[in-house]
Structure 1
Amino acid sequence: MTETLRIALAQLNPHEGEVERNAARIRAARAEAAAKGADLVVTPELSIAGYPPEDLILKRAFLDACRERIEALAADTADGGPGLIVGGPWLTEGRLYNAAFLLEGGRIATARAKHELPNYGVFDDKRHFVPGPAPGPVVFRGFRLGLMICEDWWFPSVSETLTETGAEILLSINGSPYEAGKQHVRESLAVSRVVETGLPFVFLNQVCGQDELVFEGASFILNADRAPALRMPSFSEAVAVTEWKRSRSHLVCAPHPLPPEETREESIYRAMMLGLADYVNKNRFPGVVLGLSGGIDSALTAAVAVDALGADRVRAVMLPSPYTSQESLDDAADAARLLGIRYDTVPITGAMEAFHQALAPVFANRAPDITEENIQSRARGLILMAMSNKFGDMLLTTGNKSEMSVGYATLYGDMCGGFSVLKDVYKTTVFALSRWRNGHRPVDGRGPGGMVMPERIITKPPSAELKPNQTDQDTLPPYDVLDSILEGLVEDEEGVEALVARGHDRATVLRVWRMLDRAEYKRRQAPPGVKITRRAFGRDRRYPITNGFTGLVS
């Protein structure tokens, strides 16, 4: 019996629902791995379907298509080349499982079903699947592989069962979404599984943007001594061939050189790039258009778009009003020039006057107020959507999480658009990301090196410029205070007393809490955007719009 096994980890980018394309990508990865001498090629969770499939998985025609492609991939293995582990839905005896199939010798040799089904945060596995039995090892060419599917390894019971039934390695295929700082959580948890079982651990993740979610890859291996043997790249596809040898009751992976860790800012920035690129490309938009105001949010959004798509697919529009400062005009033009993107100017003064005249009879004897400010934003939204319709480019919204949290945004105005790059990014993080991008070019970025936005955009006080001498702080607390309170309310579900105990002013906390609560109806109508934090609005945090609860409890 051979004592060496060469396992290829295929960190792939699936296209949700495009099963033929996904099968072709798996075939290409198998061919690449075969050329490098691999015995087995492992692909991520639901690699034939894409994860998460949501209610697409309820369509019988989709299940049949997945099954047909898996059977065709199984037939490929009759060539004597590498075996395959492929993730896919498994309908049997009226029960639907999230499964991993071992394909070997021209057939489906065996399958294992996901045992632990997550039903929290962004996950709805229990809506679609039934849990499989506690799995035993999969035998492949004399090796006993402890095959797990994502959530299975987050709890000790499955890995314990695999160890007790003779597994020589823990091998987990995943669709694990990105969150800032989550990789450290994964690696710490993997150490726990290794310590508990005495077995090496393999974490294989998909890499893609799927609606709001980003999956960053970042697959890794820990040997039984807890030492890292492999770290695969973040935010890009890769096929890594690893060599394993038997050592008593477990396998040992030959170590690979380890890449440097990314900074928090680099990781978040690249997550936004991948989320935007896959959303635009997989939905077949030719490019994007956005309003470039001369402020930091739109400048950062434009930079991410250029890095993700290339300057030739990004179009910026300045939409000045009588309240737009010369600084903003200059800064927007400079940002467009630094990024090398098309830049148009469409004044909204005429539209403002037309709305004023049309509404004068019904607004008679009423003083101007926020209504007139919102008309400006909605005039801009109308023009930008017209350009999107005319040229086919998707409109990007440019608001951040701080603004969306407290409703500092205009429905059918600056909230217009198909996708929001900064939807889950607090304003303080916007500043940090802008400074990072001015000093660094992402490794896979399509944009220029060096400064991509004028320094003044980062340093000047933020303003919506909807009335004379306006700044955001006329309406909102300072952003460092606001973001700290919001993180407590949104991410941690803290109460008022807990936030006051941490040093925040009670009146400010109450004010922010009320703004957060009142803005739920706006957020429900906002476009999707990249999930960055532990609790993004939408899939993660779902509150009722009609909500009479007013108890501010700690």
Structure 2
Amino acid sequence: MKHGFLRAAAATPKIRVADPVYNAEQIIELISQGHKRGVKLMAFPELCLTGYTCGDLFLQSSLLEKAREGLKTVIDSTRGKDTLVFFGLPWEHGGKLYNVAAAVQNGRFLGMIPKQNLPNYSEFYEARHFCPGAGRPVMTEWEGGQVPMGANLLFKCSDMPGLTVAAEVCEDVWVPCPPSIGHAMAGATVVVNCSASDETTGKDMYRHELICSQSARLVCGYVYANAGEGESTQDLVFGGQNIIAENGACLVESRRFSNESICADMDLERLASDRRRMNTYPAADSVREKGGYQVVEFAFRNPEAGKATEAPAGPAGKAAAGITKGPDVTPGPILRFVDPTPFVPHDEGQRSRRCEEILSIQAMGLKKRLEHTECRNVVVGLSGGLDSTLALLVAIRAFELLKLPRTSIHCVTMPCFGTTGRTYANACSLAAKVGASLKEINIRQSVTRHFADIGQALDNHDVTYENGQARERTQVLMDVANQLGGLVIGTGDMSELALGWATYNGDHMSMYGVNASVPKTLVRHLVRYYADTCNEEELSRVLMDILDTPVSPELLPPEDGQIAQKTEDLVGPYELHDFYLYYVLRYGYRPSKIYRLAMQAFDGRYNRETILKWLKVFYRRFFSQQFKRSCLPDGPKVGSVAVSPRGDLRMPSDASSRLWLEEIENIR
């Protein structure tokens, strides 16, 4: 539960049709297994206490009576277990029969959610036996007391902020306006679905998309438990397709035709972050009041554990007996995939589509700027490194869209004290291979003269020595652009901007920054994608050599002809910084949570000390360098994270980093 992670499970027991005693035993066994794994929320299929396929046996008093006894058996078995459990059974109320999902936890019967939409078409005939449930809860009799029964029940955890659970039953999610829409708007962060959806060809794909899409639309976690083997095969087969989804992503899915229990850790803080930033997401209080919702509180930990308790009659939520404190699952491996490169898709096909899309966004942004300014020339400072290479490739696409000659893309290479033969050769070769114009302006003499003017010794390789070169290059580019009536294309990427690894009013400045929202880890894949798809062998060879070159600003003299200044040796691995950047800006996670995620994502690659070292560096630089981001040139946003002061990051330049750095110091 630490850091907002909720361990949820969906389980499909192998049942016997019309045998509640046996089925209760199977449910109890799976609850016990889940509890041992630290599961806090568990869902079972629709009507699993009796079997969904009982048909007219639902009208038999013997079955209904045994179902009530089975319910009691399951409730009693949960004493001492803090897992919140939902499972299906038939329930008689007011002389009518309802298809409900019961919510139980720690020996308490918390409530029942009746199915509202009863399918009575094709192979389904539920209206023959059941009545549709109401939204507003009513009280129904149970063991001398009462429990709430209604679709509009919210189960709110008192000791896990952000966890409010609601439920719907099978068909409810298939209708045009599912009850879960109202539940989420009323504050539910996790929706449970007890289902019995039979298998027909292709239905599994639709079911998968339905559940994942619903979780995305509602910005919620969704636990879907489906009936499987054990149901009658007289006319239907049930495959037990269980799904746990979170805001559009499938965390885990079971194999069909094999009754399984699946388990995953949902990130409630991630959901809360997305809902907070979406000002179009309604405030829960007003929706809850208008919708007639009833909140039932429960807790994972009981401060009165160990004391004798009596089970008084009365509304659910007030009656409790024999509750004991459940196990506190200490932070350990998280049951979900933590992607070490959150900006880069792992699937090759998806990665290629992402690269094509980003290149198109960048090119369209530049195209519009050129059309608006009526410029027919652009200037790119070409260093032979990754960022300037990507900027050039984007310019080529924009010029193709505008049907302008590539010779109007003016590449300028500006060797100085730190330039190596490899990067110089690659810059010249790249410009030649793509058909752009190339001009070499050696700035060694002008920088030396400038240093003499300000009294900077050439053997003093300090920040003035480095930044003087960067600013001279920017001045040259700006003046060349003025001569041509063109625009200077910015080459700096988002990772450099996040760390402030740019010279203020040097490479930090341009007339349009095409890479401003592209992280360094993604720059590499964009260049590789271009190399793989350009169908030009020589161009591809040059691009691959650029990819193999260490990242460097080349502002310090080479050592034996090799790059002496490697960026990642100075500021840390970009794959770590991009990981930190994603979770800081996308979800606003605290440092201790980012550290925990990084430990899992980079297990075996970076140790604890390395991750903490560069996490501190990230936060120090991120806060101290905001002044550079506050005056960024225009540039297109390409992903969910960006640092433009006009869009995603409106942050004061003088904000204190104390809270974040102190938390890092306290990480144990």
* TM-score, length basis structure 2: 0.42
SS in 1 for 2:376: coil
Change (3 A) 1:376 1:452: same
Contact 2:534 2:540 in 1 (8 A): no
Deviation at 1:548, TM superposition (A): 3.0
Cα deviation code 1:408-458 (max 9, x no counterpart): 00011112211111111111100100110111259xxxx999638431101
Change (3 A) 1:452 1:368: closer
CA deviation vs aligned residue, 1:324-347 (integer Å, no higher than 9, x gap): 111111100111011110000000
Is the CA contact 1:334–1:454 (under 8 Å) kept in the aligned structure 2?
A: no
**Which residue is equivalent to 2:578?**
483
CA distance in 2, matches of 1:364, 1:314: 36
Cα deviation, residue 533, structure 1: 2.1
Whole-Å Cα distance in 2 between the matches of residues 480 and 282 of structure 1? 36
8 Å CA contact retained: 1:402, 1:482: yes
Alpha-carbon distance between aligned partners in 1 of 2:217 and 2:450, rounded to the nearest angstrom: 63
Corresponding position of 1:466? 555
Measure the CA separation in 2 of the matches of 1:364 and 1:294.
Answer: 28
C-alpha distance after superposition, 1:263-304 (max 9, x if no partner): 111111111111111122123222210100011110111011
* 1:414 and 2:507 matched: yes
Which residue does the alignment assign to 1:324? 419
Counterpart for residue 313 of structure 1? 408
2:387 pairs with 1:288: no
2:622 to 474, 492, 516: 516
2:630 matches 1:540: no
In the alignment, structure 1 segments of 5+ residues that lack a partner are: 1-154, 161-183, 194-259
More displaced 10-residue stretch of structure 1: 433-442 or 289-298? 433-442
Counterpart-to-counterpart distance in 1, 2:469 and 2:217 = 55
State the distance in 2 between where 1:368 and 1:276 align.
36
Check the 8 A contact 1:402/1:483 in 2, yes or no: yes
Letter in 1 for 2:369: Y
Task: Note if contact 2:410-2:436 (Cα within 8 Å) is conserved in structure 1.
Answer: yes
Superposed displacement of residue 367, structure 1 = 4.3
CA distance in 2, matches of 1:527, 1:499: 30
**SS of corresponding position for 2:447:** helix
Change (3 A) 1:191 1:496: closer
Letter in 2 for 1:372: Y
Cα deviation code 1:17-66 (max 9, x no counterpart): xxxxxxxxxxxxxxxxxxxxxxxxxxxxxxxxxxxxxxxxxxxxxxxxxx
1:440 aligns with 2:440: no
Q: How many residues align?
A: 302
Is there any run of 5+ residues in structure 2 with no aligned partner, and where?
1-179, 186-208, 219-348, 401-405, 558-563, 600-607
Q: What is the identity, as a one-letter code, of the residue corresponding to 1:511?
A: V
Q: Distance in 1 between matches of 2:457 and 2:408?
A: 45
Look up the SS of the partner of 1:551 in the other structure: helix
Q: Is the 1:405–1:486 Cα contact (8 Å) retained in structure 2?
A: yes
What's the counterpart of residue 371 of structure 1?
464
**Alpha-carbon shift at residue 499 of structure 1 (Å):** 1.4
- Tell whether 2:340 aligns with 1:272: no
The whole-number CA distance in structure 2 between the counterparts of 1:462 and 1:274 is: 27
Change (3 A) 1:334 1:156: same
Q: Match for 2:495: what amino acid?
A: S
Contact in 2 for aligned 1:496/1:506 (Cα 8 Å): no
Aligned residue for 1:10?
none
Calculate percent identity across the aligned residue pairs. Answer: 25
Superposed, which structure 2 residues align to 1:198-217 within 5 Å? none
Cα distance in structure 1, aligned partners of 2:500 and 2:428: 28
1:95-114 equivalent positions in 2, closer than 5 A? none
> Offset at 1:371?
0.9
**Would the alpha carbon gap of residues 536 and 378 (structure 1) be closer, same or farther in structure 2, given more than 3 Å must change?**
same
CA distance in 2 between partners of 1:547 and 1:396 (Å): 30
| RMSD between aligned residues | 3.1
CA contact (8 A) 2:375 2:486 kept: yes
Change (3 A) 1:264 1:358: same
Check conservation: 1:339, 1:452, Cα contact below 8 A. no
Query: Structure 1 residues 448, 411: CA separation in 2 closer, same or farther (over 3 Å shift)?
Result: farther
Question: Aligned pair 1:381/2:493, yes or no?
Answer: no
- AA matched with 1:487: Y
Contact preservation (8 Å) 1:294, 1:330: yes
Aligned to 2:635: 529
Deviations 1:125-154 (A, max 9, x none): xxxxxxxxxxxxxxxxxxxxxxxxxxxxxx
User: What TM-score, normalized by structure 1, do the two folds share?
Assistant: 0.51
**Aligned-partner SS, 2:379:** strand
Shift in Å at residue 368 of structure 1? 3.8
**Any residues of structure 2 matched to 1:34-433 within 5 Å, and which?**
188=213, 263-310=353-400, 311-360=406-455, 367-433=460-526
Q: Give how far 1:318 is off.
A: 0.2
Question: What CA distance in whole angstroms lies between the structure 2 residues aligned with 1:460 and 1:517?
Answer: 30
Structure 1 CA distance for aligned equivalents of residues 432 and 459 of structure 2: 43
User: Residue 499 of structure 1 corresponds to which residue in structure 2?
Assistant: 594
What residue is the counterpart of 2:119 in the other structure?
none
What is the DSSP-based 3-state SS (H/G/I as helix, E as strand, rest coil) of the residue aligned with 2:427?
helix
Tell me, yes or no, if the aligned pair for 2:629 and 2:643 is still in contact at 8 Å.
Answer: yes
Are the equivalent residues in 2 in contact too, given 1:338–1:451 (CA < 8 A)?
no
Is the partner of 1:316 in helix, strand or coil?
A: strand
Q: Tell me the equivalent position of 1:455.
A: 544
Determine the C-alpha separation between the residues in 1 that align with 2:513 and 2:481.
Answer: 15
State which structure, 1 or 2, has the greater radius of gyration over its C-alpha atoms.
Answer: 2
Which SS does the other structure have where 1:402 is aligned?
A: helix
Rounded to whole Å, the distance in 2 between the matches of 1:301 and 1:483 is 20
Q: Which whole-Å CA distance do the structure 1 matches of 2:364 and 2:438 have between them?
A: 24
1:191 and 1:373 map into 2 onto residues whose CA distance is: 47
Q: Give the counterpart letter for 2:616 in structure 1.
A: L
Secondary structure at 1:508 match in 2: helix
